[in-house]
Structure 1
Amino acid sequence: MEATRDWLRGVLGPYHHRDRVFRDADTVLVNFNGLAPKTDTYTHEDGRTVVLLCLHGTIPIKFRGVTYNIPIAAWVPYTYPAQPPICFVTPTSSMLVRASKHVDLSGKIYHPYLAYWHMNSEESNILQFMRTLQEIFALEPPVYTKPSNPNPPSATPATYPPPGYTNPTQPVGGSPQPYPNVNRQNYAQASVNYYPQQAQQQLSMPDPRRHSTPPPGAQPPPVPPPPSYVLTGRAGSPHQQPLPHRSQSTPPPPIPAKPLAAALDGQAYQSALDERTAKLNALREAVKDRLRHRQRELNAAIPADIERLLHVNKRLSEGEVSISETIRKLGQEQGNVQNNIELLQQKNKELSESIDALRQQPDVNVDDVVGGSTVVYNQLFELVAEDHAIDDALYYLGKALDAEKIESAAFLKNVRGLAREQFMKRALIKKIRQHAGLTDTI
């Protein structure tokens, strides 16, 4: 199986979906042992020839409790799964195709599963279609065995089997043939051969359209001769009229020269035909009136709908412009916000670095920090501090005098002493500032 898979991977080069084709083909080969892959030339109906992958062999079906193998071939197109597989019934040299609603005389298979494949191509696959074929072939097998030694028809007038009877040696869908004068045993033993899966050899499978078959080894009961039917009426539309049973020595009655319709009363027939024609004409006119009414309604509604749709389209266009402008502004705002975020992160980083640097420095005495670089500057700091202290003392002496906490004589004495001392300190401050080259602000 691995060698088959390797070969299968190697031949899928031209396919559009190689993995899907390989997966579906491998699944079919695993589930149906009677199928095998090959590559062969396929000729389309327009004459084109392409080399496609073909799954050929047999699929098993159950017909009347017995398993039979039906020979088929499924061609996989290059565009699979977009296109369904092309399937044929491939009868052997001893088989013929029985035409039906799913199989034509050439063996090509038709089914709604293939017709509606494109509507759900992703879910459709070859395995599911093969199982569908098993179901429809189990109800109506698509092949039957060729007749072995058919007897030539006699020279008697052409007769036909009764309605609902089917000749077992004639495929469904073929043109009617005269009922042959065949041997009764050959007629009763006519059957269809398939390949049974259990015995792996050709067996005789009864015609599915027959009601019963004789058991093996038993002599079938005598088959009564079918009633004779003769062709009468117009060409292309034969009317079958049963003739009364006669012995073989009695010659058949002559074929009537006129069609069956000629036996009817001409006037009654023409009256019925005219009545039917009148009803059809009345129905046709009613349908036309209904269609005209519907057309007028549509013609009246379409302009209003068009106007409404144009207005909606205009509003949508304006909204599109507004939305585009809003998106542009939001983009700019987003850019600005992003720049501010980056700047803030950079400043936070610098601040964190400064804080870390300050924390790493040793503690400093305040008295050492606030001081001059020379003795003169230190003297200037002390004189200025004493000057401000004298100002504070004079202020509180005035407050005490106002509150009558101190006498006037004591107030004057203290003010005179502090004023004298402040004058001397300010004179010294001025002299030091002039000597140091500082601006005089006092």
Structure 2
Amino acid sequence: MAPPPPSPASGAQYAHQFLNTALSQRGPSALPYAEDVKWLIRNHLVALADAFPSLHPKAALFTHNDGRAAHLLQADGTIPIHHAGASYNLPAVLWLPEPYPRSPPLVFLSPTRDMVIKPHHPLVDRSGLVANAPYLRSWVFPSSNLVDLVRSLSHLFGLDPPLFTRSPQAQAPAPSPPILATPPPRTHPSSPSPYRFPASPQLAARPPPTEDPAEVFKRNAIAKLVDMAYADAATLRPAREAEVDTLFAMQATLRNRGEVISDGVHKIGEEKEALERRLQDVMMATDVMEAWVMENRKGAVAASNTEADEAIETADVLSKQMLECTAADLALEDTIYALDKAIQEGSVPFDGYLRSVRALAREQFFQRVLSTKVNKAQQQAQVARMAARVPQYAS
């Protein structure tokens, strides 16, 4: 069972939902339109469904003149017209070919079995293709759109309807074979169309009644003005297209330059951060050097006013303890050396020499053990001071 046609109030909403899904497809099921114009195609069809609720967007298979088949978007439904004081609806299909919207759409009238295309119509050929409409001939990207196209066709078809309903009394002549490719059949010809349209205009195939000459003159004047306007638009079309292409090229150039400038600014920012970190390191090292110079300058001034024994001042307790241990070790070494000289000269008895050397060697051992412990403590303190001087940066 075919789904019911969308109401006029929900036509734009249906178009939104359908087009969002259709144009977002990727891979083999993607529609053959350029990515940079898909948003514009969506806006054209949504605006058409909003302005003309009788035209609904679809996706169907279209067969080109060379036999190629492609899934394309279409607006299927009826075009409303006003003729001789009455309103009618012409069945039509607006196909959007692959180059759309840089190229105009393909508009076909799709008469029902009881309709016939008016022979020698100035805008519609025998196959139903709307080939000579001024708006299609003067199509300009990106300003041309489907809403203005349908409005133009509605006005022109109202002046000269291209479809007639066959008279029940007389058999209307059958249309000649198409000279162009006919539009591909709607989806599933054997199934009912998902949308049903009002009846087409019931125009008798007899001479029209006599009209007011003023109305005829007014209608002809309007038609001539419309043709002149479309002719002027067609004349201006090449210049406008060249201008649009120039603007697009300039836009692409500016976009590329913007990307280059953004990359340069990013690199300059990184270099600035590296230089700031280096500057902090240099400033901290300068502070440490200045503090060391000030401390040593004070020590040098104080040492000039002291005795020779007090010229060396230890920096901390461990340094003082190491100095004392080293001095005691060297003093004991000198004492043992003196005792060796004395025993060689026979100045001291041998048993007294042994007792003295044993006591001095014991004391020297303890001094050297203490010196080793103090040296290890000094190394740990130095590592701690170096770690404290390393600058800390917030992550």
Q: Quickly name the TM-score band, shorter chain normalised.
A: 0.3 to 0.5
RCO greater where, 1 or 2, for CA within 8 Å and sep 6 or more? 2
Larger Rg: 1
Whose helix proportion is higher, 1 or 2?
Answer: 2
When the two structures are superposed, what TM-score results if normalisation uses the length of structure 1?
0.38
Q: TM-score, normalised by structure 2?
A: 0.42
